[in-house]
Structure formats: C-alpha cells, structure tokens
Chains A and B, each alone.
Chain A
Amino acid sequence: MSDESTTKIITLVCERSLDLRAHVNNLGQLKDLPDVEIVKFPCSGMIQPLMVEAALKSGASGVIVCGCQLGDCYYREGNRMIRERLLGQRPPGLRKTVDRRRVVALWLSRPQAARFISEAKEFIELVSQLDKPGTDVNQSTKPSIDNH
C-alpha cells in the first residue's frame, strides 16, 4: 500500500447505470470521497473477474462493482452475468485467494447516486477495518448476507 492512511476503493461502474457526473472530479474520483476512483464500462457485463483481482493486487483496498438494477440491463443480461461470475456461479470466477470481503456489488439505476455514496462510505468503513494492522483477518467484521 502506497499510503497507510488512505483506503483506495476502485469502483467499476456501468455507464448506463449510475449517473455520477455531478459527483466526480476530472481525475475520476468522487468529490466527497476522493479515495473512491471511478472506472467506467459500457456495461457491467464487460467487467472481468481478472480486473477485480488486478485492482486488489495493485493495492486497492476494495472494489465496488456497479451495474443497473437486476432485471434491467440495457444489454439484456450484463449485470446478471457479472453477478453470477462474482458469486462463482458462472465461469470465469474470482480466484480462491481473493478476499471476498473486499468486493461488493451494487445494482442501482441512474437516479440512485445518493444511495451509492452512502453504500460507498459504509464499504470504506468496513474495508479500513480490514486494513488495520493487527486485526484478525479471518474474523469477518460483518456477517455476510448470502445471496443465492
């Protein structure tokens, strides 16, 4: 980690879902939360699990994947595809060694930017606790909700 005090979060977002234009500076960071970097995709289905791994490997503390509401994908099935890939229900999936707690996926439609920001804050909170030296890494700080 380049800087101990910051918690870098990479957000991989479908450009058709969240409309973050009002909340992003020209560096592609959230204005309120400059630690959150935004990378846009034409569809969340384009996100490769490899990209999530790459982000974590190069020092990001967490990755947020964001697509449209489930059931509503401009390209029909993209968000369902990436969801199933992240959950390991559809190849290619994430490597076993990837810390699942550092990845979260949100399914939000265009007007839901406020929801995104509050979720991002919560996620930063969670991830920064994982980053604290000395914490038991195997102890989950939050019970994970199982989505089938």
Chain B
Amino acid sequence: MYTQPLNKVTLALEQWINAVVTSKYNPLYYHGALPQFFLWVLFLSGLLLFAYYVPTIDNAYSAEKLINAYTTVEYITHIPFGATIRGIHRYAGDAMVIAILLHMLRVWFTDRYRQYRIVQWLSGIVLLLLVLFIGQTGYYLVWDERSLALTRMTAKSFDVLPIIGEPLKWWFLNGQEITNYTLSNFLFIHIGLSFSLLFGLWIHYVRMQRPVLTPPPVIQFMLFALLSILLLWYPVTSGSMATLTQQPTAFEVDWFFLWPYWLMTQMNLQAYWLTIVTGVIVLCMLPYFVHTKEVEAAEVVTKKCTGCSLCSRDCPYAAIEMVPAPAGSRFKLLATVKSYRCSGCGVCVGACAFDAIDLPNLLDTDLTAKITASAKG
C-alpha cells in the first residue's frame, strides 16, 4: 500500500508522544475531536461578537454618529476583553483549519479514509470547503480595506464562471453592487453556514457508533491555553475603514483562510477556478486511486441469532440493525448487517456469545480450532 511509509512516520510520532504523555492524553488519538472543540470555541466567542456587530457599510443611522460594521468592530476592540474575544475568535478559526488538516493527514497516512469510510471522507471535504468559506466571510465582516479588496476579488472571480457566475455574484453581493445589503448577506452567510456545519457533521458522524466528540479536559485546557498565550504576541488588527471609492492594493494574508486570494493574484481567473476544481476533484478521488480487495461483510446465521443485540451495540460503524424476527422465530429480534457500512473488522464476532455472526472469509470456528490445536500441540 502506498501509504505504508507515511503510516510508519505517524506510528513513530505517536509512540514518541505516548512515551511522554501516555496514550490517554495523546492528542493524535483525538484528532477528530480537535476541530469539534474549536468549533464550540468559535460558536461561543462568535456569539459574544455578534452582540455588538452592526452589518452596514455606511452610516445607516445618523450623519454625526457613524455606526457601521467597521466602527462596531473598532468598538468591540476597545471595550474590556473585546479585543481578546476577537482574537480568540480569529485564532480559533486558524487553529480549526490546522486541526482539520491534521485530522485529514492522519486518516490519510493511516489509510483510514477509503471503502466503508467513504462517506466520512467526502463529507469531510465538503466540511473543509465550508469552513474555509465561512472563515473568509469572517474577514469580509470586519469591513476594513482588506475586506473590500476580498469582496471585490470574489465578485470578480465569479464573473468568469459561465452560466452560474452571474447569479452567484448577485447572491454574494445581494444585489448588483456593494451596498448595505451586501454586508447583512455576509453576516447571514457567516452565521447561517456555521450552523449548516452541524448538519454536515451529522452526516460525517452518522456511520460511526459513539464518535469521539470531545478531547479530554486536559487537552482542552492546553489548546485554549495556547490560544490565550498566543494572543499576547499577535493581537488582532484591522486596517483602516473601507471606502468604496478607493481600491486598496495590498493587505496581510492569513494563510489558513485567504490562500485562495493569493492564488488569484498568481494566475488568471480561469486558471484559478480550474486549479480549485481540479484540487477538490483529486481530493474526492483519492480513495479510488488505491485498489485493495473488497471488504467481505459480516453475515448473520439466521437460525442461531437470539436477537440479543450485543453485536449491534458494539459494531463501531453502526452497521448492524436489529429488525423484528421473521414469523415463527422463538426470538423477538434478528440482527441484520448493512453490508455497505461493514468494515469486516469482526468486532461483532467477538461480541456474539452464540456464534451467530461470521466473517465469511475467516470463520470463528476455524480460528477456535486453530487455537485449540496449537494449545494441544
């Protein structure tokens, strides 16, 4: 398998971490829970920021007291702990991208992304794209010069798309051009899509029994501590307020979220879209590049199954469903394997005390015979 050397590297790294903090606290054993943790941090800090935010680009209220998106962000930055909450919100986003990349690399390196895990892999890609886009809309909301430049670049990039380009741009700007409605649309996208992440996560988790959703408190403390300590070194900043009549030329790039804009400046827009779409397609195709033998799903011996549902409780992939037993059976329930979910791991075989479920290519009776033979021999 072509991921073998990568798997070795991962294992070596994990063993080293185990030696330091024991397997109980190894963050690599909670790699899926790390982005989820940052998501909660983002929701909470985002809620606090939302309380002060006014999504308009110009003075919607009165000529003297300018209240718009930019000034509310400024205001947040100056109230007690406002700047720090803003910082937490921004850096938790960056940290989430790092955590997602870590998660992705680990499942790829350890060959845990194919076959019966395909739904997780594909939904994971969608979630990653969503997170990137949500993060970018977060940068529009500040409404400084960078936001304006990003908004214009995005709108322009939609222009080159055939057919869907025009409506997309209309949807994005919420009209023909940048107005107050644009910013309220950005706020809606930012928050609305964040909640749609939860739906995506449901699909991401639906094929797993007992998904690991929270890292142990110690790791949570550590991660939050890292965020809070880094804040002091890199306080968040914004540029000067956006003015629609000017075109800002340069801005700082957050490499975790804004790299597509860097890409845009390196090539023409057609090539940009081609790169992005090809990249996503390659990611989606990754599981199909490796050919290994088909998984042989576990099979229930209908006559022996007592319907105790131990196997269905233990199956790590939620692949066993208990259905009403056929008429005439002595028992109420019967285990059935959803073969498209089954990994062929055999955990159900270990769970069944009645020898009623089998891996077709590796019968437990054969294994027991082998064990008894070698014990006697």
Contact = CB atoms under 8 A, between A and B. Distances in A.
Given A8-B375, A55-B372, A91-B310, A77 B112 contact: no
Contacts of B314: 45, 77, 81, 90
Chain B interface extent, by class: 35 or more
Contacts of B15: 69, 109, 111-112
Chain A interface extent, by class: 35 or more
Contacts of A2: 376-377
B26 to A, nearest CB: 6
A81 B346 CA distance: 11
Interface in A50-89: 50-51, 54-56, 58-60, 69-78, 81-82, 85
B353 A78 contact: no
Given A45-B347, A58-B376, A51 B371 contact: yes
Contact of A71 (B23, B209, B310): B23
B377 to A, nearest CB: 8
B372 A82 contact: no
B364 A46 contact: yes
Interface string B5-31: 000100110110010000110101110
Contacts of B310: 91-92
A59 B376 contact: yes
B287 interface: no
A76 to B, nearest CB: 4
A98 to B, nearest CB: 14
Residue with the highest number of chain A CB atoms closer than 10 Å, among B310, B344, B371: B371
B359 A50 contact: no
A112 B316 CA distance: 25
Interface in B311-343: 314, 316-317, 343
A91 B351 CA distance: 7
Contacts of B359: 42, 46
A127 interface: no
A116 interface: no
Contact of B368 (A42, A51, A110): A51
Contacts of B349: 46, 48
A50 B310 CA distance: 15
A130 interface: no
B374 interface: yes
A73 to B, nearest CB: 8
A82 B210 contact: no
A39 B346 contact: no
B303 to A, nearest CB: 19
Given A39-B367, A45-B346, A54-B368, A74 B376 contact: no
Contacts of B375: 8, 10, 37, 54-56, 58-60
Nearest to A110: B11
A67 to B, nearest CB: 11
A75 to B, nearest CB: 4
A78 B317 CA distance: 11
Contact of A72 (B12, B23, B345, B367): B23
Interface string B204-239: 000011100000000000000000000000000000
A76 B31 CA distance: 13
B338 to A, nearest CB: 16
A111 B11 CA distance: 8
A106 interface: no
Interface string B345-377: 111011111000001001010011011101111
Nearest to B211: A76
B194 interface: no
B110 interface: yes
Given A45-B345, A47-B350, A92-B351, A54 B371 contact: yes
Contacts of B112: 74
Contacts of B14: 69, 72, 109
B350 A45 contact: yes
Given A8-B375, A42-B346, A46-B345, A51 B367 contact: yes
Given A39-B374, A55-B372, A72-B28, 13 more contacts: A2-B377, A8-B375, A37-B375, A37-B377, A42-B362, A47-B350, A54-B368, A55-B371, A70-B23, A74-B345, A75-B345, A78-B347, A111-B12
27 contacts: A10-B374, A28-B374, A37-B375, A41-B346, A41-B367, A42-B345, A42-B346, A42-B362, A43-B347, A51-B364, A51-B371, A54-B371, A54-B375, A58-B376, A59-B376, A69-B14, A70-B23, A71-B26, A72-B29, A73-B316, A75-B343, A75-B345, A78-B345, A78-B347, A81-B314, A109-B15, A110-B11
Interface of B: 8, 11-12, 14-15, 18, 23-24, 26, 28-30, 110, 112, 208-210, 310, 314, 316-317, 343-347, 349-353, 359, 362, 364, 367-368, 370-372, 374-377
